[in-house]
Structure 1
Amino acid sequence: MLNNFKIDNETKSGQCKKGILNYFVANGNSTIQELAKEVNLSVPTVTKALGELLNVGYINEYGKQETGEGRHPTLYGLNPDSGYFVGVEIKEGFVNLGMINFRGDLVDIENDKPCRIDNTMESIEELCELVKQFIDKSGVNKDKVLNVLFSIAGRVNAKSGYSHTIYNFTEQPLTTLFSEKLNYPTSIENDTRAYAFGEYMVGNVNGERDVLFVNASWGLGLGIIINGELYTGRSGFAGEIGHMHLYNNEILCHCGKKGCLETEASGRALYRIVKERIKAGESSSLTQTKGNDFTLEDIIDAVNAEDPLCIDVVERIGYAIGETVANLINVFNPELVVIGGILARTGIFLQQAVNASVRKYTLNLVNKDTRLCLSKLNERGGIIGACLLARKIVLG
């Protein structure tokens, strides 16, 4: 039997309870008086809702608040053991899995689990078996697993439950298929949006509400947060900046078109260009340590070891990404732009090139109010974001 979060969002009482739970998510423990003020409800209404949430186990009492004088009010907060949320980040040939409790603490994480990722039922079955094993290994009460969210690259419509890039061989929504295989409520989301949400919740965001997140991994994606909410677009496909047509090259993008930004500014482009330049006779420490059999991760390591060729290519890619970021800043006028993904592991080499390009191409009056930084979560951001987004979906 599929687990359910038993709060009716259609009633005023249910809306009040979810408002209280979401307040705890954002702010931590609180008193009844503070809650009543923040959620704009009367103290009796909040007291009644808190009592019902205590009875079903979603919140706990956490002692008395220290005050200078008078009565010490009781602190309330989320019960971490009342529910669990699983994130599954689908990559090329492997998956990352994570689990958080109701309070948002990371319970378990497993990275780089090999998994065949192709457009077949066998691949889905293998993936679901890994998820089951992960949940079993965690030792948590399975009845308390409230949602499993799959983070998938490409065009994903989270509302309809369909992925249009992979696992799209059946007319049945992918979320329905996953739920049947796992016997848990499931959700799907685009990988960059999940990453962006993780960064927004626990990363480099310091109160900003309008945030752009650039995911510079094998591909290039954009997560858009407007007034604290993920923007998905009409069909859930917003943020496909990697497929903006910007070049007159003859390089075929994996989307099937030529001239996409990704062909010159992405992890895939970095790997191809380094390979081409070494083949053309340029020297690199990579050939001494790895021969011709190196990976994208090896190139990142070579950049950080100050390999001149690899640094040059990363800086060129950073400059190209910076041009696009400049255009985005001119359009969105955001408070914050975060660069994440595997290319962000090159640190200052990428950031300086992006910054230089942004300074050159943005309007000064727009640029001055935008902070630009690298991801604080690094590559863990995707799986952490998937877990946190699973909780957000349940809490509404």
Structure 2
Amino acid sequence: MKRTFIESLNDEGITGVAFKNINLKKETLAYFVEKGNATIADIGKELNISVPKATTLINDLITENIVKDFGKVDSTGGRKPNIYGLVSDSAFFIGVDIKTTCVRIGISDVQNNLINITEAIPYHLQNTISSLDKLCDIIIDYINNLSIPKSKILGIGMNISGRVNNFTGYSYSFFNFHEEPLSKTLSEKLGAKVYLENDSRSMAYGEFCSDLVNEEKDVLFINMDHGIGLGILVNGSLYYGKSGYSGEFGHIPIFDNEIICHCGKKGCLETEASGWALKNMLIEKLKNGQSSIITQYKKDIDSITLEDILDAANNDDFLSIELIGKIGENLGRGIALLINIFNPEVVILGGSLAATKELIRLPIISSVNKYSLSLVNSDTKFIISNLGDKSGIIGACLIARNRTLGIFK
């Protein structure tokens, strides 16, 4: 029995004419994704193939209910051509956003409409086999509870912090105990092609493809979470660097201190400008006798979480607000370096700390103005993320879709 295009899409063993036809169909779908509905003549011109060949491709995709004939299009003269486009629910892509204390999962259709999204699912990220197994169980349970046929799920985008090589599928910070790429291990466990990505880059891409960014092409996304991440977009494309590890912003050795960073070195930006640095600062202040509304419901000071501090700040807790301002000032020193180097059009502030809005944004801008060149920073916009927790999921879904269809590698 002849295999469908969907069934053959991720089969790496296909060669010859079949391989060429699958790629032409991928290019056709990619065209619809990027440009919208089109005529057969448009497809033929874009793919540099004859009209009869383009007609065959479109008819095959219509037969499989991936493409739809929307009827005649207005024409200036002569016979009106038919216009074709994607069937939204013909294919779906899952986005998994792995955080230190939770997992968020969502699913979008082929036209990037977010169909479903979970609340934060409690999870403890550790570099252990049991943590990996728990992650897979969470994702499998999510897939099993969907009303969408599994055969229509063409890819899973998965975000994780640390050093990730999205080209090879290896993660060097978490779940790095197999010889094979983590993406391959996950694909086998989950029964769908998995595309691994650094969380900050995926969040950056989600933000870039949202309404927050208009015509701007050079964008920096600062992921202000327990750690600090950076997503870089140059001329509208994600920048990875030679080995795929660009964006290790939190590990710039900017401070002269004796605080050991998670990377094993001292003086990293993260040691005085991250969520975990904020938590350590607040706990130290409380132990030295300062007060906070947090202790009204958290008697064990050492059990205070970053989320507790952010909630307290948004409820006018003076100590939390003061320390968030200090974190913002420290972070601004690092961002000033980025401004001087990249001269970006937009800097998007995202991650959990972005929930404090102007409490973090204003100290950052003040510090950037102090430490960067005024000529360089004068036309850079600073924007708080409007996607919030959704940015990573949207980015992961988009990356899974675009890599499946070959829109970008």
Aligned twin of 2:159: 151
1:373-384 equivalences under 5 Å are 373-384=383-394
Q: Is the 8 A contact 2:354 2:384 kept in 1?
A: yes
Aligned twin of 2:354: 344
Report the AA paired with residue 228 of structure 2: L
Matched, 1:278 2:286: yes
Q: Cα deviation per residue 1:83-125 (whole Å; 9 max; x = unaligned)?
A: 1111222222432111111111112222322335333333322
> 1 CA distance for matches of 2:60 and 2:31?
16
TM-score by length of 1: 0.89
Closer, same or farther: CA 239–3 of 1 in aligned 2, 3 Å: farther
Matched, 1:30 2:46: no
Q: Is the 8 A contact 1:32 1:43 kept in 2?
A: no
TM-score by length of 2: 0.87
Closer, same or farther: CA 304–390 of 1 in aligned 2, 3 Å: same
Range with greater deviation from structure 2 (224-233 or 5-14): 5-14
Matched, 1:138 2:142: no
> 2 CA distance for matches of 1:312 and 1:301?
14
Matched, 1:123 2:131: yes
Aligned twin of 1:176: 184
Closer, same or farther: CA 3–165 of 1 in aligned 2, 3 Å: farther
Aligned twin of 2:328: 318
Range with greater deviation from structure 2 (113-122 or 175-184): 113-122
Aligned twin of 2:103: 95
Q: Is the 8 A contact 2:222 2:347 kept in 1?
A: yes
Any idea what SS the aligned residue of 2:389 has? helix
> 1 CA distance for matches of 2:356 and 2:315?
10
Report the AA paired with residue 329 of structure 2: Y
Q: Is the 8 A contact 2:108 2:114 kept in 1?
A: yes
Closer, same or farther: CA 363–116 of 1 in aligned 2, 3 Å: closer
Q: Pick one of 82, 88, 96 that aligns with 1:80.
A: 88
Q: Give, in angstroms, the shift of residue 9 of structure 1.
A: 11
Aligned twin of 2:9: 5
> 1 CA distance for matches of 2:236 and 2:20?
23
Which segments of 5 or more consecutive residues in structure 2 lack a partner in the other structure? none
Q: Pick one of 249, 260, 264 that aligns with 2:272.
A: 264
Q: Is the 8 A contact 2:261 2:267 kept in 1?
A: yes
Q: Is the 8 A contact 1:158 1:236 kept in 2?
A: yes
Q: Pick one of 213, 217, 238 that aligns with 1:209.
A: 217
Report the AA paired with residue 37 of structure 2: S
Matched, 1:302 2:302: no
Aligned twin of 1:234: 242
Any idea what SS the aligned residue of 1:122 has? helix
Closer, same or farther: CA 226–205 of 1 in aligned 2, 3 Å: same
Q: Is the 8 A contact 1:90 1:96 kept in 2?
A: yes
Q: Give, in angstroms, the shift of residue 272 of structure 1.
A: 1.0
Aligned twin of 1:388: 398
Any idea what SS the aligned residue of 2:120 has? strand
Q: Pick one of 351, 375, 380 that aligns with 1:370.
A: 380
Q: Cα deviation per residue 1:126-170 (whole Å; 9 max; x = unaligned)?
A: 222221111111121111111112211100111111110111112
> 2 CA distance for matches of 1:305 and 1:266?
21
Closer, same or farther: CA 21–208 of 1 in aligned 2, 3 Å: farther
> 2 CA distance for matches of 1:208 and 1:176?
35
> 2 CA distance for matches of 1:22 and 1:210?
23
Report the AA paired with residue 262 of structure 1: E
> 2 CA distance for matches of 1:278 and 1:116?
26
> 2 CA distance for matches of 1:164 and 1:82?
35
> 1 CA distance for matches of 2:44 and 2:354?
41
> 1 CA distance for matches of 2:8 and 2:320?
50
> 1 CA distance for matches of 2:119 and 2:149?
22
Q: Is the 8 A contact 1:3 1:144 kept in 2?
A: no
> 1 CA distance for matches of 2:191 and 2:297?
47
Aligned CA-pair RMSD: 2.9
Q: Percent identity?
A: 42
Range with greater deviation from structure 2 (48-57 or 250-259): 48-57
Matched, 1:194 2:202: yes
Q: Cα deviation per residue 1:203-239 (whole Å; 9 max; x = unaligned)?
A: 5111221111110000001001112211111222110
Which segments of 5 or more consecutive residues in structure 1 lack a partner in the other structure? none
Q: Cα deviation per residue 1:241-273 (whole Å; 9 max; x = unaligned)?
A: 101111111111111111110010011111111
Range with greater deviation from structure 2 (55-64 or 143-152): 55-64
Report the AA paired with residue 317 of structure 2: D
Paired positions, count = 395
> 2 CA distance for matches of 1:348 and 1:331?
25
Q: Give, in angstroms, the shift of residue 288 of structure 1.
A: 2.8
